[in-house]
Amino acid sequence: MNMPETLYMVIPCYNEEEVLRETANQLREKYASLRSRSMISPESRVVFVNDGSKDKTWEIIQELHSAEPEIFSGINLSHNCGHQNAVLAGLMTVKDICGVCITMDADLQDDINAVDEMLERFYEGNHVVYGVRSARKTDTFFKKFTAEAFYKFMKAMGADVVYNHADFRLMSRRVLQELAEFKEVNLFLRGMVPLIGFKSCSVYYERRERLAGESKYPLRKMISFAINGITSFSTKPLKLITSLGFMMSIISVIAFIWSFVVKITGSSVVGWSSTICSIWLIGGLQLFCLGIIGEYVGKIYAEVKGRPRFIVEDFLNETGVEFINKCSNNEKNDGI
Ligand code: UDP
Ligand code: MG
């Protein structure tokens, strides 16, 4: 791969006014250092994607862009689309103007210094470089426990994800072009990227505490994210339901024979509690299984509608605008 490539860093931001300026300061330093070592081209940019924030996040992004358009760009989504969609919006916007891109959260939990190593791995010929947490020292016990349970459960359910890798990753332009072919509405990027293939490797770093502001991923969101990941990548739960139904049928046959024997031997006792318990158990199991099937039906519904996954309202980027104009002019010329 030719050195230096144009690096676009895509940073999704939702209500990040407290941390954004500090993030920008650190990224500015990182870009200066990478440029001085000719690791990235002068056209490289940081793209903040404003995911429908309710605070001053977009105003700050606009300020950063007008003060230093040679470093900071911004994308404004028309409404809150969620973390995964915000990342995808950034990636799809820059896929034709970058040589390589890195996605990272806005809260500086990921180690910016890992970017150097990621780029080195990229220049060695890797198309995807996963940022993997080597330790979870700063996470609370609860976060650590739930997060690790998440990866183990995902694996057990057949959705193969890179252990302890979130969305801090480098992707080459080639990988972005292929990612654009994945049209699914239910996004789970960390499951999709490994499916693209190409040469990949991991870079290890220590994940820090959030610099300011609060997590937008409370337990409730984490659980729904895990369910989304599993049901988007695996039909194992459906198979488990079939096995469960089969097991229950065998048990019921045994129970039937047993009750018949008890009746014949004449020692039958009217068993109210056992009847009630089995009704609740079977009813609960049935509802649970129906719920799982419903998850998949809901997904099919969303996919069939095929609504846009994000809507870009503004894109602040000089190079990008020039590029887009150039493309449309070429198309016009071709038409004539
Ligand atoms: N985020 C987003 N849209 C949302 C929720 C979160 O773009 O609807 C961004 C957020 O600004 C941050 C990243 O996604 O940059 C990860 O969120 P957060 O740090 O709150 O999650 P955690 O690290 O606690 O899992
Ligand atoms: Mg975070």
**Per-residue confidence in pLDDT tens, the chain, 336 aa:** 667 889 999 999 999 998 999 999 999 999 999 999 988 988 899 999 999 999 999 999 999 998 988 899 999 999 999 999 999 999 999 999 999 999 999 988 888 999 999 999 999 999 999 999 886 666 677 777 877 887 888 778 777 788 788 889 999 999 999 999 998 888 888 888 888 889 999 888 887 777 777 777 777 777 888 888 888 878 788 888 888 888 888 888 888 788 778 878 876 667 777 787 788 788 888 888 888 888 888 888 888 888 888 888 888 887 644 444 444 444 434 433
Sign of CA dihedral 69, 72, 75, 79: negative
Sign of CA dihedral 105, 108, 109, 113: positive
Q: How far, in Å, CA of 94 to CA of 319, rounded?
A: 10
Q: How far, in Å, CA of 72 to CA of 316, rounded?
A: 9
Sign of CA dihedral 329, 331, 334, 336: negative
Contact 128, 198 (CB under 8 A): yes
Q: Which residue has the tokens 């409730």?
A: 220
Ranges of H-type helices in the chain: 17-36, 57-67, 83-94, 114-123, 141-156, 173-179, 189-196, 219-233, 236-265, 272-305, 318-335
**Is the CB of 105 inside a 6 Å radius of any atom of ligand 1?**
yes
**Is the CB of 173 inside a 6 Å radius of any atom of ligand 1?**
no
Q: How far, in Å, CA of 128 to CA of 192, rounded?
A: 12
Which atom number of ligand 1 is nearest to the Cα of residue 210? 19
**According to the model, what pLDDT value does residue 253 have?**
82
Distance 76 CA to ligand 2 centre (A): 20
Pocket of ligand 1, candidates 48, 49, 79, 107: which has the most ligand atoms within 8 Å of its Cβ, to mutate?
A: 107
Cα separation values, 56 from 17, 19, 20, 67, 105, Å: 6, 11, 10, 17, 17
**SS3 state of residue 271:** coil
**According to the model, what pLDDT value does residue 8 have?**
94
Structure tokens at 266: 């004449």
pTM to 2 decimal places: 0.75
Pocket of ligand 1, candidates 48, 77, 105: which has the most ligand atoms within 8 Å of its Cβ, to mutate?
A: 105
Structure tokens at 229: 């990941």
What superfamily in CATH does domain 7-220+309-335 come from?
Spore Coat Polysaccharide Biosynthesis Protein SpsA; Chain A (3.90.550.10)
Going by C-beta distance under 8 Å and a sequence separation of 6 or more, which residues neighbour residue 58? 50, 74, 76
